[in-house]
């Protein structure tokens, strides 16, 4: 029996990925790294530290120096905050309210550590997510695509993997949720081919949160 829905945040609840992509590109360039928009979408869900470590190894052939990840991630966050508030994803409030109306527990599992965005949850989705039902980048040592954040999410909302469903938009997020044994619905709100999301393990892929809301009863509340 379905008891809980775990939502990813960026690209699911907020239309924040275009801003994230632009800010990653700019911040990386300031520190001699090249990160493309496509790279950002393919690696979405990784923590800032993991992302910077990966690209530093690939492009500079070494590990980041002490403080280097923090410095680059701080530059990215500063650019992101200067962009102002990202819009709520169209259809996201409908999906969250359908879940609440069905008596399901709602939680969030995000690789983001953006304080501003986390604070914005309460404003845009009032009384939808309890603070102790939110897993962010600071909650886990190993981020997506490891299952750890979703396993912690299950623990926080107090249900088993079989009693939950995940809503994700990113291949690594889908991988993480599937590795945690949770049925995963993907929404392809970015710029990737939907095949990438099916290949990552998604049970079904919708083109938007609006479409998911329309087909909610058939596909989520079993
Ligand atoms: Ca996401």
Cα–Cα distance measured from residue 171 to residue 56, given in angstroms and rounded to the nearest whole number:
21
Q: Write out pLDDT tens, residues 69-98.
A: 999 999 999 999 899 888 999 999 999 999
E-strand ranges in 81-222 read 105-109, 134-135, 164-168, 183-187, 204-206
Q: In angstroms, what is the span from residue 132 Cα to ligand 1's centroid?
A: 20
pLDDT of 111 reads: 84
Closest Cα to residue 23, out of 84, 87, 90? 84
CA of 144 to the centre of ligand 1 (A): 10
Contact call for residues 173 and 201 (beta carbons, < 8 A): no
Residue 149 scores a pLDDT above 90: yes
State in Å: Cα 46 to ligand 1 middle.
9
- How close is the Cα of 187 to the center of ligand 1, in Å? 10
What's the gap in Å between 22 CA and the centre of ligand 1? 15
Tokens of 190: 């970015």
What's the CA-to-centroid distance between 40 and ligand 1, angstroms?
Answer: 11
Whole-number Å distance, alpha carbon 34 to ligand 1 midpoint, is 21
Q: What count of other Cβ atoms lies within 10 Å of the Cβ of residue 146?
A: 18
State if pTM tops 0.95. Answer: no
At 220, is the pLDDT very low, low, confident or very high (cuts 50, 70, 90)? low
Question: Cα of 170 to ligand 1 centre, how many Å?
Answer: 5
pLDDT of 218 above 70:
no
Spatial distance between the Cα atoms of 180 and 5, rounded to a whole number of angstroms: 14
Provide the phi-psi class of 32: left if phi over 0, else alpha when psi is between -120 and 50, else beta.
left
pLDDT tens per residue, range 183-211: 999 999 998 999 999 999 999 999 999 99
Q: Is the pLDDT of residue 154 over 60?
A: yes
């Amino acid at each position: 029996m379905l008891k809980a829905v775990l939502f990813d945040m960026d690209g699911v609840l907020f239309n924040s990925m275009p801003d994230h992509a632009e800010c990653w590109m700019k911040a990386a360039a300031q520190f001699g790294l090249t990160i493309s928009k496509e790279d950002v979408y393919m690696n979405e869900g990784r923590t800032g530290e993991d992302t910077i470590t990966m690209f530093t190894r690939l492009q500079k052939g070494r590990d980041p120096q002490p403080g280097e990840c923090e410095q680059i991630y701080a530059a990215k966050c500063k650019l992101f905050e200067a962009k102002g508030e990202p819009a709520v994803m169209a259809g996201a409030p409908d999906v969250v309210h359908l879940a609440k109306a069905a008596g399901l527990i709602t939680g969030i599992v995000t690789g983001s550590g953006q304080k501003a965005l986390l604070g914005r949850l309460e404003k845009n989705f009032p009384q939808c997510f309890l603070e102790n039902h939110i897993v962010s980048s600071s909650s886990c040592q190993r981020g997506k695509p490891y299952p750890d954040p979703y396993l912690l999410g299950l623990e926080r909302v107090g249900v088993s993997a079989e009693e939950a469903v995940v809503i994700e938009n990113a291949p690594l997020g889908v991988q993480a949720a599937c590795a945690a044994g949770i049925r995963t619905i993907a929404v392809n709100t970015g710029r990737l081919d939907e095949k990438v999301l099916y290949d990552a393990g998604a049970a079904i892929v919708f083109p938007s949160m609006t479409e998911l809301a329309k087909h909610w009863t058939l596909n989520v509340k079993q």
